[in-house]
Structure 1
């Protein structure tokens, strides 16, 4: 594993991760939320077993990556520049959870260089699919500011909202205390989406480190929520690469309706629904299979 950063032509910094098999074909990962480049630590063992070189980046505002105006298309272009800097002329892209739209943006940015697209438990346009969710009322109000051209106010409102959600959790001294607080936040009914007890303890430690680095500030959360919450600035009809969708049958965070939406938009996509699998388990457990599938299709 190598942690570093790339400086883009406009001077912005993008934090990077390089791992897996250094001699294999490349897969670039677009992380979920609240995550960053360190999402790749959960996938690295599987990538190495599959003989795949694993690349990841932290999007604007996550970790030490520089701020940029919210945009899916811009993030897709950034991913191409990062891949070039890391020596990957062609590569497949994998979007995890909230990273799904950003992976699609990467595939749309250059269908020649991006050889295959994978979306694992990826979010669709939640503002449409989850419009009746009472827990999202505050976020819908924030996005209304962006709709009215008051993006700076929307960004600040998102920062404040995320501080109210995550400040107490990030203040926990130990990684295990942070994970207990995270479990309570995402599973208020006490039903864990991931059966952590079935996995090695270091998986919880990795996730805690991932969250702590991602939320150095709340800029990334503001960026991604606005970029994916407004009308998307990418054309999905330009995506003709082999495309694979992986979803968990027992995912309560991003249920199958999101996968079905992607399948409808990308008719060439192959949808796999994994039985007895929740949100985290879909990528924690199946990283080797996803790496092999994406590179075999390239």
Structure 2
């Protein structure tokens, strides 16, 4: 699906689950896209929840531009309005957490609850985003060349991608089948702008602090997550006024969401 932004850009996204249910708007990780939300379609239908995920600028067909946490949040709120939802939940996965926080802070009368899954704390770099992009681009482009997202062979692309994930996460992804895995990788990496913008913003402080969030916050972490430990996020979580945290035993990064959609969605539904 595609929607126009207020300034004429293209916003590519996906909706699934129960079209008549309350809305949970997903902010995907990095590198990732709307495809992560697609893994929650069946769970969302069972929970009576509608899912929305919009590709951030530079991912897939979403127009690349000088986005910030705030502009992404405003894009999401605009799409939710177009879909007929004045109140909704936001769910930030991994790097998407900073954007979800921005959405809750900027739209307090609309965001009923903020969900955070495997979210990393803010960065500390202060250089302009464009300087950080230029710094990170050579290493990223070299890695991306090894992935070769332009390869039309789904099986070969999937075979290169899965070993980059923790075994438990790789098993979850592999179960989707080579066609779905390859489509997700191509959408995330075919254009480098999305990843590079995300990476630069990830290393900088958040645009909006936890203290600016007025709604309830529910957070989930995986005990075996090698990217985002609950301990590392303790200071971040302490900044929210109303927060409850679940640490899932023996759970890796992606599995914290993909293996636990029913619980996450039921929790957010009941607070929306």
Aligned to 2:54: 57
- Alpha-carbon deviations, 1:229-260, whole Å to 9, x = none? 22222132121211100011111122223442
* Whole-angstrom distance in 2 between the partners of 1:44 and 1:93: 16
SS in 2 for 1:154: helix
* Whole-angstrom distance in 2 between the partners of 1:229 and 1:199: 27
Equivalent of residue 19 in structure 2, options 17, 22, 36 = 22
Alpha carbons 2:133, 2:199 under 8 Å: kept = no
Structure 1's unaligned 5+ residue stretches are: 129-142
Aligned to 2:157: 178
Aligned to 2:8: 11
Alpha carbons 1:76, 1:108 under 8 Å: kept = no
* Whole-angstrom distance in 1 between the partners of 2:180 and 2:236: 29
SS in 2 for 1:246: strand
1:194 equivalent in alignment to 2:191 = no
Aligned to 2:258: 284
Aligned to 2:269: 295
* Whole-angstrom distance in 2 between the partners of 1:113 and 1:8: 19
Higher helix share: 1
1:71 equivalent in alignment to 2:68 = yes
CA shift in 2, pair 1:152/1:250, >3 Å: closer
1:257 equivalent in alignment to 2:231 = yes
- Segment of structure 1 superposing worse, 231-240 or 174-183: 174-183
Aligned to 2:97: 100
TM-score if structure 1 supplies the norm length?
0.84
Equivalent of residue 145 in structure 2, options 145, 158, 167 = 167
* Whole-angstrom distance in 1 between the partners of 2:115 and 2:181: 21
Aligned to 1:118: 115
TM-score if structure 2 supplies the norm length?
0.91
CA shift in 2, pair 1:206/1:270, >3 Å: farther
CA shift in 2, pair 1:195/1:154, >3 Å: closer
SS in 2 for 1:256: coil
1:209 equivalent in alignment to 2:183 = yes
Where do 4+ consecutive residues of structure 1 move more than 4 Å? none
RMSD, matched Cα: 2.1
SS in 2 for 1:226: helix
CA shift in 2, pair 1:176/1:258, >3 Å: farther
* Whole-angstrom distance in 2 between the partners of 1:109 and 1:91: 13
